[in-house]
Amino acid sequence: MANQATDLLFKMLNPVYLLINRRSDRTRRLMKLTEQSIETNKPKLLLIISGLVIAILSPVIVLPRINHPFFVYRTSIHLASITISIFLIVVSILTYKRTRSIKILYTTVAFLSLLVVELIFLLQIVDGSNRIMVPLAYSELPHIFLLTMLALFGIGVLRVDK
């Protein structure tokens, strides 16, 4: 009797289970295709990152200085550098996930160091940001990060994988 009830319950719930399982398979395949398309479509990834950086930083950094062309150009250069460094970080992380090469990991950290330097340079030109950081950090910290970036690139290039 219990076996018949189990069979009946299984027959009733099996279509629902198959529907849920099929949808989750579709969702997994769609997510995998989306991830693969982003990995293979670098211009699309660059556009997404550019849009996010501009949407996040422009209202805070560029728009308050829109009447000062010199500052707009200067901040635009830093925004472009930040965008490129974030793009390179994301691409190198995706490459590291695929290859598991320690060279790529060093390169990723080097690009991260470049991002930190650009953020420091951007903070230097923003009004009121001197309250956030120690003034000595403005002069020496970017040089330390640039040296770190160069060292990591050197290690990544000169390292021999076994």
Domain total of the chain: 2
Residues 72 and 147 in one domain: yes
Closest to 111 (Cα-Cα) out of 130, 92, 131: 92
Residues 135 and 98 in one domain: yes
Residues 98 and 18 in one domain: no
Residues 131 and 90 in one domain: yes
Write down the pLDDT at residue 35. Answer: 55
Number of other CB atoms surrounding residue 38 within 10 Å: 14
Residues 36 and 74 in one domain: no
Containing structural domain, residue 145: 54-158
Question: Mean pLDDT per 10-residue run, the chain (162 residues)?
Answer: 57 59 58 58 86 86 76 85 92 89 88 89 71 62 82 78 64
Write down the pLDDT at residue 128. Answer: 61
Does the residue 21 lie in any domain? yes
d(CA 161, CA 130): 44
pTM: predicted TM-score of the whole model, two decimal places: 0.68
